[in-house]
Every structure is written in C-alpha cells, then in structure tokens.
Amino acid sequence: MTASSKPYVVGVDLGGTKILAAVFDRRLRLICKSKRSTKAVRGPAAVIERILRAVWDAVDEADLKMEQVGAVGIGAPGATDPESGKIIFAPNLVWRNVPLRDELEKKLKVPVFVENDCNIQALGVHEKELKGKPRNMAGIFIGTGIGAGLILDGKLYAGFNRTAGEIGHMVLDVNGPKCGCGNKGCFEALASRTAIFKTIKKAVKEGRKTFLTEKLGKSLKDMRSGDLRKAIKRGDKLVAKVVERAAFYAGVAAGNIINLLNPEVIVMGGGVIEALGEQMMPVIVSTARKYAMKGTDKGIRILASALGDDAGITGGAVLAWRGLEAVSPGGQEKPAETPRP
Amino acid sequence: MTASSKPYVVGVDLGGTKILAAVFDRRLRLICKSKRSTKAVRGPAAVIERILRAVWDAVDEADLKMEQVGAVGIGAPGATDPESGKIIFAPNLVWRNVPLRDELEKKLKVPVFVENDCNIQALGVHEKELKGKPRNMAGIFIGTGIGAGLILDGKLYAGFNRTAGEIGHMVLDVNGPKCGCGNKGCFEALASRTAIFKTIKKAVKEGRKTFLTEKLGKSLKDMRSGDLRKAIKRGDKLVAKVVERAAFYAGVAAGNIINLLNPEVIVMGGGVIEALGEQMMPVIVSTARKYAMKGTDKGIRILASALGDDAGITGGAVLAWRGLEAVSPGGQEKPAETPRP
C-alpha cells in the first residue's frame, strides 16, 4: 500500500501552550483528537517527543494503527520552511532552526509536512468550512498574538521569505501603545489577548471596577478569554468597553485588508474570537465595512470561523493530503479528486 | 495581417489632469509619445475624443499608420472592469459606467484593453524595469492620491471586486487627519501630494517661513512637487520636515506591506516620488525596514521606479500585447515568446 492510498492522515497544531493532534479521513472528517500541553521550557527534543505522543495517542484512541496513516501535516508558530521542514524561528517556543520534519519522520515513518500555524488554519477553514470555493480569502487569527493566512488565487500565499501574513504587525495607530516588536500601534498591540488583558489589568490598578476581580483577585492572575465573555454577559462595563475597542481595531485591520486585497471572504478565528466572537463580530463587521472604500466590500463576507480550535488540525490534514498528492501523484486514489467535505 | 502580428501597440495613461499615449514595439521600446490635458469637466464624450487624438497623434508623430498598430491598452483612474471594458467609477473624472473600451474600439478599429491605472503602472514597472522577474511585487504610487498595483504569483492581482490595491485608504494612524473617504489617518491623508500641500499651507497660515512664498505668494497657488524639491535644496526647513514626515508614513505603509505580503520588490512611483524621490527614498527605505518584522525583509528590494511618468503608458503597452496574445494566440509571433526588453 503506497502512502497516498492509505485512508487516514494526522493533522497537528503545535502551539506555544498546547499540542493538538487529530486523525482525519479523506473527506476531512475528524475521527479522533488528542491534546497535551507543549511544555516549551523543556526544549525542542522534549517537545518533539510530546508531539509524537500526541500523534500516537490520537491514532490509538481512534482504534487505528500508524500503518493506516499516510502522512502527518503540522503547523508551527513562527517562521517555517516547508521545503527543508525546519522551524526557522519560533519566538513562543524559543526555537531556532529546529529540523522538525526530519525528527518526526524518523520516529513516525511516514511523510511529514510542515507549515506556519496561521497558514494551516487558513487552509483548514478554506478547504473544510468554505469547501475550497473562494479564490481569495484572508484568515485573521486573534489569540495571544495575531497572525493571518492568505489564500490568493486559490493557493496558500507565502511571499518571498515565506513570512507573508504577519498582520499582527500591521501598524494601525502609529502613535499607539508599544508592541513587543519594538514599534508602536501594531494590530497585535491593540487587539490581541495580551493587549486586552494588559488594558484590563491597568484599569483595575487605576481603581476601575470589574466582576473579574471577584473570582480572580486584584492581580487578575489566570485570566482567560472565557472569563471576559462571562463578565460581559453579567453587564461588566469595563470589560465590554475594552473588548469592543479590540473589536474596533480588528475591524480597521479587516477594512485595510478589503482595501488592499479585496478577498471574497475574511474569516476571523483564534482563541479570542472563539471565546468572544458573539461580542466582537458585529463590531468587527460594521467597522470593516465603514473603513473599506465605498462599494469595494460588495458581496464580501466577513465571518467567524465555525471550526474554532480545530482549524489548525484540519489544515494540518489538508496539508498532509496535498503533500501526499504532490509526492506520489500515481497513488490509487488522488486526494485532490476525492469529493470535498 | 492579424492584429497580433502587427509590430506596434499604443499604451495610454488616462489621468485626472493629463492623457499620455505612446507607441511601443514588441520589446516595449517607446517609439513616440504624445500628451494632452484631460479636461475632465467637459464630460466623458469629450475626454474620449481627446484620448483618440492622443493615440492618433502618437502614431502620426512616429511616422506610422493605425494599420501597423495591433491594439491599445489603457489605464484609467478608478474602478475598472477589464471584462466589459467599462469604467465603473472614477471620482477624479466624475465618470460612472462609461463604456470606454467600446467607444474607443468604434473609432480606433483595433482591440482596446482597459485596466486600473495603478495596475498598469505596476505592470509596466514589473515587465520593463524588472524584466518580469519578481514573482511578487507591490508598486506604490504617490501622487495627488495614493494607490498600489500588486503582482502576486507572477500575475496582476485584482481581488473579488477587482478593487485590490487601494493602499491609499490603509489606515496608519487611526486618530490622524481626516481623509476624503470620511475616515481618519489613511495613508493618502498623510503622504499624498494633497496631504503634503495642505500641511505646508496650514503652516504658512500659522506664520511659518518657507522659500515657497517668494515665488508662489502667501496663498501658495499653483504649488508643484518640483517646487518642494527646489526649496529643500535651498535649505527650506519647513518643507524638508513636511516631506520627511510624508516619507516616514510611506515607509510605515511599505513596512505593513512587507509584513502582510512579503513581496520580493516594493517599487515606489508616481509624481511625488518622481519629484522628491531623492529626498524621500532614504527615509522610506529605513522606515520600512524598521517596521518590517525582524528578518522578514531579508533580500527584499525597495526602490524608486526609473520609469517615472512612463510607467502607465508602458503598462498600457504590456496590457495590449498580453490582450492580443489572449485574443489570438495563433498569431504569427507570440508576444509572450518574444525576448523581454
């Protein structure tokens, strides 16, 4: 049985805090999922060991064997080189030049394909949620940081150094708050989870009242996006205002994207959107349309991804199927020709 | 002789104030150029008549006949529909749904191809100046307004509503000066000729000194970009500072583009860059590299177009040759196969 004739692949989403792995079939149906913490502080070798265990767990839980798995597709946070399979630089993991693909292939004995995390999230949303239809799509993912994946002219767009999609460092407010990158007013410094939490903590220090302190204390330690949603639902004015402001900036960013790239669909995703989409999306959509040049947003959809946290693993599966197809196009069944989910 | 076997095409750049037309050969060598004012106030029919005269003039001055011209490619300011050949909306001309292609074809008796002006400028720079090499390029054109043309994956990128490239309305300073579009802090409101002139006029009203008033009077009537260059060369501090500020914003915009699209080349063009490139480019380049995420600008070139005002007509010629190739691929010589200039 050639790799491309095997019925399953595994998609992996390697994040700064957690690793998700899941078995998918040819129609991109999720068969079984596993999750474990990343423990990046232990260093690359330990993290790679944890990725392997996540993959084996998902396969085992699905009552399958690795022999039935054709390939693994993995998204990593940071600059990746799909050709060499290396992670060039991943600040969240403190990785530099880690040969992730080769290390995984040694143990997994199947082809492994590596991509940037935002790129595979965009790929997952495009292929599974939007059935591969839009020629041009921008996926904007808001979590601890902010990134984007671009599907242009039907394909994942990477750019010259393969670093396209760094929308988190698009300047929206040149005199705005300082960003981790050293500049001011980047999208990420205005609307990421980090930025939202920082603003709330500062306000609490200045004596502003919020329901959040009831459960989390004045330090707001261990605050999560879900806490903000609950606080807003209880009528917390401070939290509502801070989240609305972040949504406004996300809308300005989406408006910039409509002006610049005019994609058919803008998909919002990531942990912040998953937790606070209900509160943020109306503001994001109305702001984006206000900032788009008149008439240019006609027919363009702006929506929250329904895949949520599964966008990355789904995209990993898409990457794996496409990689197999490219490697052995003579396989029994061509993934590209199988019916789309 | 089929259209595609004829040795020449005409490229036209229809602007808000002037019309340029020029005859080009297959190697994109400019044979002869003509120029006349647009006189947009006279309405579409009169402007179309003036375009025809510009085309005929260029052909006649080149000692050629229209029979030797295979096609005409024209760039128009605003939203254009290359398929129908219509200008959907051109605010500078006050045009709405003008069937430019059909009107021109009636009189010229050759195929006419229509595109957005920034798109053809990018096309001209990419094909003639950069020899068609970069897979991905962004052309940013700063004049009365600001626009961009994007070459992505080797092709002109237009987006869903064919309005991609509206970089002039990318917000860089969300609390910045009001833009004509109704929003605040758009690139165009910070760095266009209009924005630069406005800032200088305001400063003069507030009593700031500048050499510009010597020639132009306190009202600064009929100020041109070239006047600013001369003033800076004489040591005019006000003008130098205002132009430097505009260059800074252009650099932030270019940095945003590197982060988002990571093109191999960013080309700066348009009247402001043509007049003030020497002063602005060093600031644009250093700012863009400062705002690009660390390492992502490696190997990326940021340069001023050497084609200047000829970018549009050159792109018009590229459009015409490509259009002919698409229409009659069976022509004697295929333009796509002729050696590149």
What is the nearest CA distance from B11 to chain A, expressed in angstroms? 26
**How many CB atoms sit inside 10 A of residue A277's CB?**
22
Closest residue in B to A171 (Cα–Cα):
B172
CATH number of residue A325's parent domain: 3.30.420.40
Asked if the structure places residue B130 within a domain, the reply is no
CA dist A72 and A16 (Å) reads: 19
Domain check: are A165 and A294 in the same one? yes
Nearest CB to A157; choose among B152, B165, B259 = B152
Q: Please, what is the angle between helix A193-205 and helix A237-261, to 10°?
A: 150
pLDDT of the residue at B329: 61
pLDDT of the residue at A336: 43
- Asked if the Cβ–Cβ distance from A174 to B171 is below 8 Å, we say no
The model's pLDDT over A127-154, given as tens digits with 9 standing for 90+, comes to 999 999 999 999 999 998 999 999 999 9
The model's pLDDT over A282-317, given as tens digits with 9 standing for 90+, comes to 999 999 999 999 889 999 999 999 999 999 999 999
Closest residue in A to B134 (Cα–Cα):
A160
pLDDT of the residue at B330: 52
Domain check: are B144 and B239 in the same one? yes
CA dist B78 and B126 (Å) reads: 21
Domain check: are B74 and B107 in the same one? yes
Q: Which amino acid is at B219?
A: S
CA dist A73 and A76 (Å) reads: 10
Classify residue A154 by its DSSP letter.
T
CA dist B325 and A172 (Å) reads: 42
Interior/surface letters A89-123, b for 16+ CB within 10 angstroms, e for the rest: bbebbebeebbbbebbbeebebbbbbbbbbbbbbb
Domain check: are A219 and A238 in the same one? yes
Domain check: are B163 and B290 in the same one? yes
CA dist B257 and A60 (Å) reads: 45
Classify residue A259 by its DSSP letter.
H
- Domain hosting residue A214, numbered range: 137-261+271-304
Domain check: are A88 and A145 in the same one? no
Dig out the tokens for A52 from the structure. Answer: 């392997």
Name every chain A residue with its beta carbon within 8 A of the beta carbon of B172: 171-172, 174
Q: H-helix or E-strand containing B190?
A: helix B187-191
Name every chain A residue with its beta carbon within 8 A of the beta carbon of B296: 79, 161, 163, 166
Q: How many domains does chain A have?
A: 2
CA dist A223 and A325 (Å) reads: 43
**How many CB atoms sit inside 10 A of residue A67's CB?**
11
pLDDT of the residue at B98: 96
Nearest CB to A89; choose among B165, B262, B295 = B295
CA dist B286 and B299 (Å) reads: 14
Asked if the structure places residue B123 within a domain, the reply is no
Domain check: are B236 and B326 in the same one? no
With vertex at residue B2, the alpha carbon angle to CA B1 and CA B3, rounded to the nearest 5 degrees, is 120
The model's pLDDT over A184-237, given as tens digits with 9 standing for 90+, comes to 999 999 999 999 999 999 999 999 999 999 999 999 999 999 999 999 999 999
The model's pLDDT over B92-150, given as tens digits with 9 standing for 90+, comes to 898 999 999 999 999 999 999 999 999 999 999 999 999 999 999 999 999 989 999 99
Name every chain A residue with its beta carbon within 8 A of the beta carbon of B167: 259-260
Name which of B167, B267, B293 to mutate to probe chain A: the one with the most chain A Cβ atoms within 10 A of its Cβ: B293
Of A138, A125, A260, A293, nearest to B157 by C-alpha is A260
What is the nearest CA distance from A148 to chain B, expressed in angstroms? 8
Contacts of the segment B37-41: beta carbons below 8 A, 24+ positions apart:
B38/B14, B38/B93, B40/B16, B40/B92, B40/B93, B40/B94
pLDDT of the residue at A280: 98
Size of interface A-B (CB pairs under 8 A): 145
- Asked if the Cβ–Cβ distance from A181 to B294 is below 8 Å, we say yes
Asked if the structure places residue B127 within a domain, the reply is no
Domain check: are A97 and A56 in the same one? yes
pLDDT of the residue at B338: 42
Pairing of strands B265-269, B301-304: parallel
Nearest CB to B261; choose among A159, A252, A264 = A159
Share of chain A above pLDDT 70, in %: 96
Cα-based distances in Å from B301 to B181, B256, B296: 31, 15, 12
Asked if the structure places residue B165 within a domain, the reply is yes
- Asked if the Cβ–Cβ distance from B298 to A161 is below 8 Å, we say yes
Asked if the structure places residue B333 within a domain, the reply is yes
pLDDT of the residue at B125: 98
As a whole number of Å, the end-to-end CA separation of chain B is 24
- Asked if the Cβ–Cβ distance from A295 to B264 is below 8 Å, we say no
What is the nearest CA distance from B244 to chain A, expressed in angstroms? 15
Asked if the structure places residue B266 within a domain, the reply is no
What is the nearest CA distance from B259 to chain A, expressed in angstroms? 5
Sign, CA torsion A145/A150/A155/A157: negative
- Asked if the Cβ–Cβ distance from A181 to B293 is below 8 Å, we say yes
What's the average model confidence in pLDDT over A314-336?
Answer: 77
- Ranges under pLDDT 70 in chain B: 1, 328-341
Asked if the structure places residue A266 within a domain, the reply is no
Asked if the structure places residue B89 within a domain, the reply is yes
Q: H-helix or E-strand containing A132?
A: none
**Greatest CA separation found in chain B?**
67
Sign, CA torsion B159/B161/B162/B168: negative
Domain check: are A290 and A320 in the same one? no
Domain check: are B107 and B233 in the same one? no
What's the average model confidence in pLDDT over A49-56?
Answer: 98
Domain check: are B283 and B177 in the same one? yes
Domain check: are A95 and A144 in the same one? no
- Asked if the Cβ–Cβ distance from A160 to B252 is below 8 Å, we say no
Pairing of strands A137-142, A146-152: antiparallel
Confidence of residue A64 (pLDDT cuts 50, 70, 90): very high
CA dist A294 and B108 (Å) reads: 34
Confidence of residue A71 (pLDDT cuts 50, 70, 90): very high
Closest residue in A to B298 (Cα–Cα):
A161
- Asked if the Cβ–Cβ distance from A181 to B263 is below 8 Å, we say no
Confidence of residue A330 (pLDDT cuts 50, 70, 90): low
Interior/surface letters B194-217, b for 16+ CB within 10 angstroms, e for the rest: bbbbebbbebbeeeeebbbeeebe
Name every chain A residue with its beta carbon within 8 A of the beta carbon of B175: 173, 175
CA dist B334 and B312 (Å) reads: 23
Name every chain B residue with its beta carbon within 8 A of the beta carbon of A135: 160
What is the interface pTM, i.e. ipTM, of the complex?
A: 0.92
